[in-house]
Amino acid sequence: MRVAVNVRFLLKNRMEGIARFNYETLKRIVTKHPQDEFYFFFDRPYDKSFIFGENVKPIVLYPPTRHPLLIAYWLEMRIKTQLKKIKPDIFLSGDTYMPLNPGVKTVIVSHDLAFLHFPEHMMFFDKKFYDYFFPKYHKKADKIIAVSQFTKNDIIDKYKIEPEKIDVVHNAANGHFYPIEDDNKIEFRKKFTDGKPYFAYLGSIHPRKNIVNLIKAFEIFKENTGNEHFLAIIGRPAWKTKDFFEALKNSKYRDCIITRQIDRDQLPDYIGSAEALFYVSLFEGFGIPILEGFEAGIPVVTSLSSSMPEVAGDAALLVDPHSPEAIANAMEQLVEKPELGYSLIEKGKARLNTFSWDDSADKIYKILKDTVNNSNLK
């Protein structure tokens, strides 16, 4: 089988949700199937670590897709030209984007339709692009991979796609995080928070991540309890961060809130030494940090909305993300009831076994093979 793949999200040191899904699954598919040929389409110079085997041919197609117009040009001109030249059996797009008439069977991975639920969080031209192209991508693709049952249901509801066209393939934990021994936690906290316990957030910073309400909740928690806890917000500023920085600047407890961008190899200490992970996003197609909290061996608090209950199961506290009071109450419960935290940690360990990158990679490969062999498709 000859597979062309859109891998423009594989960027060194910027491996967030979509990129992580592509990286973990493609690495396994390529190495497990050396008889197949893979053509990786990058939009800029690539890191050699993304070339997972001798059966991968990297192809750089300029320009870098930093604007919706450049994305459209890249897909409709550069990608389509390469597909005609290579004549692969199938085209896989790990970030949903595809040429509208690729001339080859196509499988797309759909991570979420957040822009339909929170249009106000989008940049103007990005929103216009999504509104026009995303319905077409989903309708023109031969097969759709959704990263959660919630996302599959959302696609069916919003785009009226037949359920049989969509398969669910989950994300998984990355094996990167691990529990930190108590003595090591104490030493780390001495350096990070002057020895004080802290709650952590892990992820990018933009409105959908709901960090303003997390800061408000932390303020309520501090007012109600007088505890010495810190709040650590770990991640890069993405877009529309004005409200976040204003909330941070104006917080009465600004001196107890730490914001950091941390290299990935250092993250295990920062997350594993936290008292709990708070991932109270307004909307997620999956929510990998939930699993990373389980992996780190700390209690997790997440939202009762979108896909997050599906991912967390009974292994996390679920809260209303629109209610700072509810988030603050979860902070208080974890501090006042240590046994609750221990129970969540054990349930988190068990929940991790529900998700496997090996299983996800095998499912994707089967979808590719079945789509290629289905003569009823174009």
pLDDT digit string (tens) for 121-144?
A: 888 899 999 999 999 999 999 999
Would you state the pLDDT for residue 273? 98
pLDDT tens track for 189-207: 999 999 999 999 999 999 9
Is the separation of the CB atoms in 318 and 281 below 8 Å? Answer: no
Domain boundaries, the chain: 2-172+356-373, 182-352
pTM: 0.94
pLDDT tens track for 229-274: 999 999 999 989 999 999 999 999 999 999 999 998 999 999 999 9
pLDDT of 351 over the 70 cut: yes
Measured between alpha carbons, how far is 284 from 311 in angstroms, rounded to an integer? 10
Can you tell me the mean pLDDT for 271-296?
Answer: 98
The arrangement of secondary structure in 2-172+356-373, i.e. its CATH architecture, is 3-Layer(aba) Sandwich (3.40)
Can you tell me the mean pLDDT for 181-189?
Answer: 97
Can you tell me the mean pLDDT for 285-313?
Answer: 98
| Best CA proximity match to 276, nearest among 214, 320, 323 | 214
pLDDT band with cut points at 50, 70 and 90 for residue 15: confident
pLDDT of 378 over the 80 cut: no
> For the chain, what is the largest distance between any 2 Cα atoms, rounded to a whole number of angstroms?
67
Place of tokens 């490969």: 365
Can you tell me the mean pLDDT for 14-31?
Answer: 93
pLDDT band with cut points at 50, 70 and 90 for residue 377: low
| Best CA proximity match to 284, nearest among 348, 368, 344, 209 | 209
Can you tell me the mean pLDDT for 308-322?
Answer: 98
Sort 261 into a burial class: Cβ within 10 Å, 0-12 / 13-18 / 19+: exposed
pLDDT of 13 over the 90 cut: no
Q: Cα dist. 72→7, 23, 39, 241 in Å? A: 16, 23, 20, 27
What is the identity of the amino acid at 309? P
2-172+356-373 and 182-352, same CATH topology: yes
Is the separation of the CB atoms in 207 and 243 below 8 Å? Answer: yes
Average pLDDT of the chain?
Answer: 96
Would you state the pLDDT for residue 14? 80
- Which CATH entry fits the domain spanning 182-352: 3.40.50.10420, 3.40.50.2000, 3.30.1360.120, 3.30.9.10? 3.40.50.2000
pLDDT band with cut points at 50, 70 and 90 for residue 358: very high
pLDDT tens track for 67-109: 999 999 999 999 999 999 999 999 999 999 999 999 999 999 9
* % of the chain at pLDDT higher than 90: 94
Centroid of chain to Cα 203:
9
Instruction: Please give the structure tokens belonging to residue 247.
Output: 């909330």
Can you tell me the mean pLDDT for 11-32?
Answer: 93
